Amino acid sequence: MANSQVPRPRVSVRIPAYNHEKYIAECLRSVLDQTFTDFEIVITDDGSTDRTVDIIRSFDDPRIKLVTFARNEGCNAAIADCGHRSVGEYIANLCSDD
């Protein structure tokens, strides 16, 4: 039987986000446009009330893993959630407004 496990990405890019509709598309494009492609993007949206989540979903890239909090839990909770969901060999932290 063939191994059906998804291979572990080399890098996990962790992005906590909160109400950054103005910046999140550029942030994601900056990662997705890299020549290096062995990565996952782990985004935890911290209860945004703007279009942040809609913009993230519009990218439709299988490397993007999005988790949304129903309400704002705070930056530390979003960062911790990204950490728990990351499986890459290396970690890169990126702010959603960078």
Over residues 59-68, the pLDDT tens digits come to 999 999 999 9
Q: Given the DSSP bridges, would you call strands 90-93 and 11-17 parallel, antiparallel or unpaired? A: parallel
Taking all residues of the chain, what is their mean pLDDT, rounded to a whole number?
93
Evaluate whether residue 25 is within a structural domain.
yes
Total count of domains within the chain: 1
- For residue 96, the model assigns a pLDDT of 87
Which residues, other chains included, contact 48 with Cβ-Cβ below 8 Å and sequence gap of 6+? Answer: 17, 18, 19, 20, 21, 68
Residue range of the domain that includes 53: 11-62+74-87
Arithmetic mean of pLDDT, 56-77: 95
Evaluate whether residue 18 is within a structural domain.
yes
Evaluate whether residue 81 is within a structural domain.
yes
Evaluate whether residue 50 is within a structural domain.
yes
- For residue 98, the model assigns a pLDDT of 66
